[in-house]
A and B are shown apart, each in its own frame.
Chain A
Amino acid sequence: MKKQYIYSLIFLFIMGEIIAQQTPAPKQTKDYSIEGATAHIGNGEVIENSLIMFSNGKLKFVGSANTKIARLGNVINAKGKHVYPGFIVANTSLGLGEIDAVRATLDYDEVGAMNPHIRSLIAYNSESKIVESMRPNGVLMGQITPRGGTISGTSSVVQFDAWNWEDAAIKVNDGIHLNWPQSFTYGKWWLGEDVGAKPDKKYTTNVEKITTFISNSKRYLKSDKNPKNLPFEAMEGLFNGEKKLYVHASGVQEITDAINYIKKAGINNIVIVHGNDAYKIADLLVKNNIPVILERAHRVPSSSDTDYDLPYRSAKLLVEKGVTVAIGMEGSMERMSARNLPFYAGTYAAYGLNKEDALKLITSNAAKILGIDDIVGTLEVGKDATLFISEGDALDMRTNILTHAFIQGRKISLETHQTKLWKKYSKKYGLQ
């Protein structure tokens, strides 16, 4: 009986190897040198005919291939190809939801208005088929963020090749996400109301709820903390600088109010998320050193009299004023679309940014905003060897074709549920 049980376990294990997603790569033991590629460093610099070497998961050399230096380990000839630091998607619910229409697969939205103690990391599914589909496009890290409520909860940053959420974590509990109230609300058409939006009479009250919550938590943290209050405890990092406050807001009034109220409450690490109208008050953002996690470029203008390309130009309008910008994913089909992150950067490049500046949005800027720029975000010696090689320009779908990808020096698989089905049926039809 017992034996049988063990056999079936082994059988399952083997089956698992075959049909489940690819196995996470083991710790880097072999060194790699990538030679001849155009290296996009992620900070604006480009090295033609580059040499990149890494061992034990860390970058050991980044420079010209003309440098007379011994090549480490396996040498990958990448002439004509391009190397990029692994792309980072901010504000994403990857791993917290699998199939939009199947409620049982969704874990991103908890009941309650003030949930700073809710932590995304422990629900992150490292074996999500959607997460695995990020990797063939170069998206290798993400800030896993809960949704809903006024304070949705606490996010963490993960890398996309892991056995479990503990392995995946790069930065645990990096920040708290606050959905700032909207000054305009849409009518509820299903209740027969006019669908247009009108100024929300409850806006002031809604803002007050937030400021009250923050000041209550501050008072609690200075007290003897008895009895213990979980939500208030979770707020501590905001006051001591360990966590950032990600304020999800779009309008001029909302952003201005948020900055003023929150600074006044003693929280200084603020990031604006969405920020559709942030360009109109870029000076305020620069003055307060507040970065913006913009939405994907591929969205429709907010009203019918808006320039058709305003969403495409939104990054340029902020960057040219000196705001640090990254790209996040929130809204309809946000998880499966996150693999298009490079193309959002590409679109921002088509509409005003130069390509290397556009690249920063999903590399060094994202790393800076998420507070992981000491380990990832650029191809610099000492940082994690989280990078990939593409046949061509990775911001363009025509040429974003990955040949190799590494996370922490580990050579990861680029196979997915989708490539397997592709190969399975191609084989059936004798197409390949």
Chain B
Amino acid sequence: MKKSIILMIFLFSIILNSQEYFPINTGVKTKPNTTVAFTNATIYVTPTQIINKGTLLIKDGKVLNVGKAITIPKGTEIINLEGKYVYPSFIDIYASFGISKPKRKPNSRNSKPQYDAERKGYYWNDHIRPDTNPINLFKFDNKKAKELLKAGFGIVNTHLQDGIVRGNGLLISLNSNPSSSNRILDNKSAQYLSFQKSNQSKQAYPNSLMGAMALLRQVYYDAQWNAKGLSKNNDLALEAFNKNKNLVQIFDAGGKQNDLRADKIGDQFGIQYTIVGGGDEYEDIDEIKATNATYIIPINFRKAYDVSNPFFASKIDVSDMRKWNQEPSNLSVLQKNGIRFSITTHKLKSIADFNKNIQKAIKFGLNKTAALEALTTVPASILRKSNEIGKLQKGHYANFLITSGEIFEPKTITYENWVQGSKNVINEMNIKDLTGNYTLSLNNNKYLLSITGKGRKLASSIKKDSLKINSKISYISNWLTITMNETKDSSKFTRLVARINDVSDNLSGASVDADGKKSTWRAIKNPLEKKEIKKKKKEATKLSITPVTFPNTAFGFSKRAKQETILIKNATVWTSEKEGILQNTDVLLKDGKISKIGKNLRTGNAKVIDGTGKYLTAGIIDEHTHIAAVAINEAGHNSSAEVTIEDVINPDDIKIYRNLAGGVTTVQILHGSANPIGGRSAIIKLKWGETANNMLYKKSPKFIKFALGENVKQSNWGSNNTVRFPQTRMGVEQVYMDYFQRAKEYNDFKKTGKPYRKDIELETLAEILNKERFISCHSYVQSEINMLMKVAEKFNFKINTFTHILEGYKVADKMKQHGVGASTFSDWWAYKYEVNDAIPYNATILHNMGITVAINSDDAEMSRRLNQEAAKSIKYGGISEEEAWEFVTINPAKLLHIDDKVGSIRVGKDADLVLWNKNPLSIYAKAEKTIIDGIIYFDIQKDLELRKSVQKERNTLINMMLNEKIKGKAVQTPKKKASINFHCDTVLEY
């Protein structure tokens, strides 16, 4: 079977350019004249070059000529297209046509994770498959081809949608002529990439988005190394990758955030990807525009939710409902921002929805010319085939549509879709339109007959005065038949029959009643009523699109929050500095900085906030969080120094807003603890509504997460996870010894100036040795804490922070000596064996030993009330309130090396402040205003307004959706968004 497919393909590829030398045994070898002229049509040579009453001349599957007054050679078949339109057929630039995706191998109960590649002679990671040549897998899919032809497509660009690097693709003509051997227009149409792993391999790495990104970067470096001929081994994957380098690079990113991530990788290696988006690009249009990429956009608009059950409806997130309302405007927004895009059927469940959805996009503001371009000239140009496809110019493939009117008009009927000069009938061209209202006369009775529908698919409704009469209509060949059941007696029917002629719009013919009595009937077509037209217009203008907010979720701001000059008057100011607590003090914020601290400061033009009876503090800093990221653990290797959380920040995470409401202004998003050497972290300010880039600290101190103990030994991962090194604390030490030794050798070799294979992982570790990157290490028991300090000392650097560090109190003296800081939980314990000796007095003991101590959260719940967690150190260990407050402000700032900017109230520092209604350490305290860089990001009063608008929006959208359901449109079952609360040990397959 397989062999025969390969053989067939082999035949195809030989036939590709010509059949002329093929013997024929079915008749005589005469060549028919295939010249056809289509005359009197409105011809769209391109979306902008339109010829009225023009002629299109085709021969041998290509356009011979097109124009107004062109000579038609003798013997040409002439097809008169009077009143009709001709358009280039569409191109679907992103499809899996004829290449089925391999299924993922099911997990068996006892299967151990697979860490190594299965393929030999290829790259070390099986998800990198640039050597894939889909021509070996391709099988023309007649059924799908028909659907695509029906939707107006003449060409699809297909590839194997599997893996991170996916190899090249095929440009296929949907020529349905079974003898056609010209279908494959290009067998290396582009190189394809994505962030998704291959289904053909169970190799564990990467299990996260950031791992996929790091892997891709390493592939580029390794490919460069290979291209220079410096690689010690042959690598068929990298060789193929290098061969594909000059092809168009199409990246399936699949949504606004990943679009930006893909582009970021491209920028790093000087590659401009063509990006397959996700339909939500309108939400962050400025950033999308800044990528300068051309986009391929799916139009799988979600259906309205079925909100008729209020319990179920209440589970749907308002932002999901909002997306239903906004999504159809995506293309229009892209177009208005001058972003080049093509449209694809990718992700559409049914291709039949394609035209409907294009029409919807047009209704939502998409320009029709742009829509046509997105389906013809743009994909042609992306594929560097502007001279062959996408237009009806001389020499182009004769791929075109014949329609009854302007394309994309709901009423327009597509008659024929010609591909390479072969005709495919979609709807009969010369069928008469019978729709309309008629006055029907039968046996001296008058009825109102309305015929609705399109082409031959008609529906009838008959009324006698106001009485509705059951009827059925059919239109086959030239004959119209109507069956009516006037008496509601199901044994008595009257049949009408009429032959349709071109002369008159009226209908007439014979009738037979229930008793077999024959008679005649007539139906006179009524002119279209004016009222109806008016009503339709009115509905078209009713469109309402919810404005995009920043971020585009519940509690997003209608405009990005702005910096202000703010004077907070007469507050109790907790400085977290040696000045301690200042009573009745004013603080002036200007240009994003703390400008003045004093009494009775002059107001000037500042916005005044009365702080009387309130407490002003520096914003809370969380040294250890996992909010605002789409991935936390790259667990596919025991070291993942090459990955960075900066790649996977999610600025739309509601947890950012909730943290602001808890007075948090800065967080370090740490990699998880799935491996001894984790990933690089991201330090961000919680600037709700800003982009991921704008949240990151400029010139941020560099950090990496390390981890010790049960998580990295995979102690609690189940009995299958017993094969990855290390499985004991003894092994953990050797992982470090090994990696640091290698990093040292790498670093030393690099300094020699000789060419070296760039290794992102070792580069990162070398930064640690060079004291350019700090370690924050997840740690619990004293033995391992002690061990890591000794490893660091052997390599002549220091651990910056032990995070969690629940047994730190047992080695506080050694920690002090090493000079490491501690970022700990207030009172967590007993969740694992290694925290059996965790005590809530840990923070105070470490602090009393002179170690810089912070209280962290590691948890999206606790992070919103770190003030209370700090206060627990007053209960457990009896430190002062001021010291406790430093645990969540200046101390974490010190640990993160950002104490020159944030963490205390001092003139010149960033204006990152919180105004509390009560003593901030009290259980009764609420953050009333949270300010970052002089911008108010949380205001307890404004929050009340936001709540109201969430409720209002919910009600509006619910009513819109109910209307949709009542109108009979398809709706989907309500769905509640899953929210995963990331912790250190959250390992997900992305």
Q: Give min CB distance, A15 to chain B, whole Å.
A: 19
Residues of B close to A304: CB separation below 8 A: 317, 319, 553-554, 654, 977, 979
- Contacting A303 at CB < 8 Å: which of B861, B874, B979? B979
When chains A and B are docked, how far (Å) is the Cα of A418 from the Cα of B922? 24
Asked if residues B861 and A299 are in contact (CB atoms below 8 Å), the reply is yes
Binds B, one of A96-104, A210-218, A368-376: A96-104
Residues of A close to B840: CB separation below 8 A: 418
- Is B526 an interface residue when CB atoms closer than 8 A count as contact? no
Residues of B close to A346: CB separation below 8 A: 923-924
Q: Which residue from chain B places its CB closest to the CB of A401 in the assembled complex?
A: B875
- Is A2 an interface residue when CB atoms closer than 8 A count as contact? no
- Contacting A198 at CB < 8 Å: which of B837, B925, B974? B974
- Is B315 an interface residue when CB atoms closer than 8 A count as contact? yes
Asked if residues B978 and A422 are in contact (CB atoms below 8 Å), the reply is no
Asked if residues B319 and A305 are in contact (CB atoms below 8 Å), the reply is yes
The answer to whether A418 and B975 touch (CB under 8 A), given A346-B923, A398-B871, is: no
In chain A, positions 324-380 with a C-beta closer than 8 Å to chain B are 333, 335-336, 339-340, 343, 346-347, 349-350
When chains A and B are docked, how far (Å) is the Cα of A422 from the Cα of B988? 37
- Is B810 an interface residue when CB atoms closer than 8 A count as contact? yes
Interface string of A290-325 (1 = CB under 8 A from B): 000000001111011101110000000000000000
Asked if residues A418 and B923 are in contact (CB atoms below 8 Å), the reply is no
When chains A and B are docked, how far (Å) is the Cα of A309 from the Cα of B848? 35
Residues of B close to A251: CB separation below 8 A: 311
Q: Which residue from chain A places its CB closest to the CB of B875 in the assembled complex?
A: A397
Asked if residues A398 and B860 are in contact (CB atoms below 8 Å), the reply is no
Residues of A close to B980: CB separation below 8 A: 195
Residues of B close to A340: CB separation below 8 A: 827
The answer to whether A398 and B921 touch (CB under 8 A), given A196-B978, A300-B861, A304-B317, is: yes
Binds B, one of A5-13, A31-39, A71-79, A180-188: A180-188
- Is B716 an interface residue when CB atoms closer than 8 A count as contact? yes
Asked if residues A195 and B861 are in contact (CB atoms below 8 Å), the reply is no
Q: Which residue from chain B places its CB closest to the CB of A280 in the assembled complex?
A: B314
- Is A112 an interface residue when CB atoms closer than 8 A count as contact? no
The answer to whether A421 and B832 touch (CB under 8 A), given A186-B978, A398-B921, is: no
Asked if residues B861 and A253 are in contact (CB atoms below 8 Å), the reply is no
Asked if residues B845 and A398 are in contact (CB atoms below 8 Å), the reply is no
Residues of B close to A399: CB separation below 8 A: 875
Q: Give min CB distance, B312 to chain A, whole Å.
A: 6
Residues of B close to A395: CB separation below 8 A: 923
When chains A and B are docked, how far (Å) is the Cα of A409 from the Cα of B881? 34
Interface string of B916-934 (1 = CB under 8 A from A): 0001011111100000000
The answer to whether A336 and B924 touch (CB under 8 A), given A298-B865, A343-B868, A397-B871, is: no
Please report the total number of A residues contacting B with Cβ < 8 Å. Answer: 58
Asked if residues A422 and B839 are in contact (CB atoms below 8 Å), the reply is yes
Q: Give min CB distance, A26 to chain B, whole Å.
A: 28
- Is B384 an interface residue when CB atoms closer than 8 A count as contact? no
Residues of A close to B710: CB separation below 8 A: 101
Q: Which residue from chain A places its CB closest to the CB of B873 in the assembled complex?
A: A397
Binds B, one of A60-68, A263-271, A424-432: A424-432
Asked if residues A422 and B877 are in contact (CB atoms below 8 Å), the reply is yes
The answer to whether A307 and B947 touch (CB under 8 A), given A253-B311, A401-B875, is: yes
Q: Give min CB distance, A249 to chain B, whole Å.
A: 13
Residues of A close to B874: CB separation below 8 A: 397-398
- Is B836 an interface residue when CB atoms closer than 8 A count as contact? yes
Q: Give min CB distance, A306 to chain B, whole Å.
A: 8
Please report the total number of B residues contacting A with Cβ < 8 Å. Answer: 73
User: In the complex, how many residue pairs between chain A and chain B have their CB atoms under 8 Å apart?
Assistant: 169
Q: Which residue from chain A places its CB closest to the CB of B831 in the assembled complex?
A: A100
- Is A20 an interface residue when CB atoms closer than 8 A count as contact? no
Asked if residues A336 and B829 are in contact (CB atoms below 8 Å), the reply is yes
Asked if residues B831 and A429 are in contact (CB atoms below 8 Å), the reply is no
When chains A and B are docked, how far (Å) is the Cα of A102 from the Cα of B834? 10
- Contacting A300 at CB < 8 Å: which of B319, B658, B809, B875? B658
Interface string of A394-432 (1 = CB under 8 A from B): 011111110000000000000000110110011001010
Asked if residues B839 and A429 are in contact (CB atoms below 8 Å), the reply is no
Asked if residues B865 and A98 are in contact (CB atoms below 8 Å), the reply is no
Interface string of A242-260 (1 = CB under 8 A from B): 0000000001110000000
The answer to whether A398 and B922 touch (CB under 8 A), given A303-B979, A304-B319, A422-B877, is: yes
Residues of B close to A308: CB separation below 8 A: 657-658, 661, 864, 943
Q: Which residue from chain A places its CB closest to the CB of B925 in the assembled complex?
A: A350
Residues of B close to A227: CB separation below 8 A: none
When chains A and B are docked, how far (Å) is the Cα of A421 from the Cα of B988? 37
- Is B52 an interface residue when CB atoms closer than 8 A count as contact? no
Asked if residues A418 and B841 are in contact (CB atoms below 8 Å), the reply is yes
Residues of A close to B861: CB separation below 8 A: 298-300
The answer to whether A333 and B828 touch (CB under 8 A), given A343-B868, A397-B868, is: yes
In chain A, positions 188-212 with a C-beta closer than 8 Å to chain B are 189-190, 192, 194-199
Residues of A close to B919: CB separation below 8 A: 398
- Is B271 an interface residue when CB atoms closer than 8 A count as contact? no
In chain B, positions 825-872 with a C-beta closer than 8 Å to chain A are 827-833, 836-837, 839-841, 845, 848-849, 860-862, 864-865, 868, 871-872
- Contacting A335 at CB < 8 Å: which of B654, B812, B830, B848? B830
- Is B427 an interface residue when CB atoms closer than 8 A count as contact? no
Asked if residues B923 and A343 are in contact (CB atoms below 8 Å), the reply is yes
- Is B973 an interface residue when CB atoms closer than 8 A count as contact? yes
Asked if residues A101 and B832 are in contact (CB atoms below 8 Å), the reply is yes
Q: Which residue from chain A places its CB closest to the CB of B829 in the assembled complex?
A: A336
Residues of B close to A192: CB separation below 8 A: 104
Residues of B close to A114: CB separation below 8 A: none
Asked if residues A199 and B864 are in contact (CB atoms below 8 Å), the reply is no
Asked if residues A99 and B319 are in contact (CB atoms below 8 Å), the reply is no
Asked if residues A431 and B922 are in contact (CB atoms below 8 Å), the reply is no
Asked if residues B836 and A99 are in contact (CB atoms below 8 Å), the reply is yes
- Is A41 an interface residue when CB atoms closer than 8 A count as contact? no
When chains A and B are docked, how far (Å) is the Cα of A419 from the Cα of B878? 13
Asked if residues A197 and B978 are in contact (CB atoms below 8 Å), the reply is yes
Interface string of A144-187 (1 = CB under 8 A from B): 00000000000000000000000000000000000000011011
Residues of B close to A303: CB separation below 8 A: 315, 317, 976-977, 979
Q: Which residue from chain A places its CB closest to the CB of B926 in the assembled complex?
A: A350
- Is A52 an interface residue when CB atoms closer than 8 A count as contact? no
Q: Which residue from chain B places its CB closest to the CB of A252 in the assembled complex?
A: B311
B810, B813, B830, B919: most-surrounded residue (chain A CB, <10 A): B830
- Is B386 an interface residue when CB atoms closer than 8 A count as contact? no
Asked if residues A183 and B311 are in contact (CB atoms below 8 Å), the reply is yes
Residues of B close to A187: CB separation below 8 A: 978
A192, A194, A309, A401: most-surrounded residue (chain B CB, <10 A): A309
Interface string of B964-976 (1 = CB under 8 A from A): 0000000001111
Q: Which residue from chain B places its CB closest to the CB of A310 in the assembled complex?
A: B947
When chains A and B are docked, how far (Å) is the Cα of A4 from the Cα of B114? 56
Q: Give min CB distance, A344 to chain B, whole Å.
A: 9
Q: Which residue from chain A places its CB closest to the CB of B923 in the assembled complex?
A: A346
The answer to whether A197 and B315 touch (CB under 8 A), given A303-B977, A418-B841, A422-B841, is: yes
- Is A130 an interface residue when CB atoms closer than 8 A count as contact? yes
- Is B555 an interface residue when CB atoms closer than 8 A count as contact? yes
Q: Give min CB distance, A132 to chain B, whole Å.
A: 12
When chains A and B are docked, how far (Å) is the Cα of A309 from the Cα of B864? 10
Residues of A close to B860: CB separation below 8 A: 300
16 contacts between A and B (CB under 8 A): A99-B831, A183-B311, A199-B974, A298-B861, A299-B861, A304-B554, A305-B553, A307-B943, A333-B828, A336-B827, A396-B871, A397-B872, A418-B840, A421-B837, A429-B812, A429-B813
**Given A190-B989, A300-B658, list of 10 further CB < 8 A pairs?**
A101-B832, A199-B312, A303-B979, A336-B828, A398-B922, A401-B875, A422-B876, A425-B845, A429-B813, A431-B845
Q: Which residues of B contact A (CB under 8 A)?
A: 104, 311-312, 314-315, 317-319, 553-555, 654-655, 657-658, 661, 710, 715-716, 809-810, 812-813, 827-833, 836-837, 839-841, 845, 848-849, 860-862, 864-865, 868, 871-872, 874-877, 881, 919, 921-926, 943, 947, 950, 954, 973-981, 988-989
